[in-house]
Each structure stands twice: as C-alpha cells, then as structure tokens.
Homo-oligomer: A and B are copies of this chain.
Amino acid sequence: MRTPTELAQVFREKQLKLTPQRQLLFNLLHDNESHPTAESLFEIASKQMPGISLRTIYQTLGELAEMKELQLVDIGNGATRFDPNMSEHQHFVCDSCGAIHDVDITSAPKLRAGSADGFAVEEIGVVFRGRCGRCNQGDQSRQTTKRSPGLQAKNKAS
C-alpha cells in the first residue's frame, strides 16, 4: 500500500473525499504487518476517533482492496485479514496464537497448475499452518484460533 500522503493524492484525483476516517485508516494500515481484521482495526481506530463506525472500516477496506492498495488474506477460519503488503508473498498462520507471518517462497519455483487441463490460472493462494516460533517453544498456550469447534466437540474430557 502506498503512503498516506500518496493515497491522499490518489483519492483527490478520483474525486473521492479525504475524510478523517479514511485518513486515519491510511495511517493505521501503512506498513502494518499484523494482517488485521476489520474488527481489530475498528478497535484501534475507535481510540483515536471515538464514534467511527465499523461499517466505515469495512467500506474503506473494500475500497482500498478494489484499488489494489491492499489484499484480502483468507485463512479459512474467522474474519478476513487485510494486508497492505502487495508484494508477492505467502502466509504462515499459527494455529496456536492466530498470528499471521509473511513467508517468502524463494526456494520453491513458480507453481503451475497443469495448464494441460485447460485451466487459466490467474492467482495462487498458499497458506501454511502450524505453530510459530514463540508458541513452539515453552508453553502449550491456550489456543486462540478455533478450528471447527464442532468437529472437536466429541473430545469430551470427562
């Protein structure tokens, strides 16, 4: 994603208003590597701008995504994560703490879906799952990421 200043320029050119809500989000997202959810951004934004609407967060995130200023990262479970880092990279999701880390697949050559099958691949999404370094060592801390609650219901610890 571009800098808040650059984005302001882009918005002006498209006769989109430079509202304080938008500017705040530009700032919160710039260089943000936490892969936040709309909800988490809402909480943070609310501190600096009490009263801002969650609806507006979704709205703005959607606009930025449409403008290719950020990408949506779908990790299967839970809310969509937003990523201002548009460079080609993949993600590692920690099943323990829920954190998402960027992963650059330098080694693995470009994947190719069998074009022989007639598929026109436009996008490839890769998500690694496991436990991050911190969660790996030490405590078996409480699981944050809920993996299909129901599917584990039967494990009744009696």
Which residues does chain B contribute within 8 Å of A119, judged by CB atoms?
Answer: 92, 94, 101, 103, 128, 130-133, 136
- Number of A residues near B (Cβ < 8 Å) is 49
In the complex, whether A47 has a CB less than 8 A from a CB of chain B is: no
List chain B residues, Cβ under 8 A from A103: 113-114, 117, 119
Q: Which of A77, A124, A125, A128 lies at the interface centre, i.e. has the most chain B CB atoms within 10 A of its CB?
A: A128
User: Do the beta carbons of B154 and A66 come within 8 Å of each other?
Assistant: yes
Does A104 count as interface, using CB distance less than 8 angstroms? yes
Copy number in the complex reads 2
Cα-based distance from A124 to B128 in the complex (angstroms): 4
**Binary per-residue interface labels of chain A (114-130) against chain B in the complex, 1 for a CB within 8 Å, 0 otherwise:** 10011111111111111
A127-B125, A151-B62, A151-B66 are known contacts. Are A113 and B92 too (CB-CB below 8 A)?
A: yes
**A120 partner, pick from B108, B111, B136, beta carbons under 8 A:** B136
Interface centre among A95, A129, A154 (most CB of B within 10 A): A129
Roughly how many angstroms separate A125 CA and B132 CA in the complex, as a whole number? Answer: 17
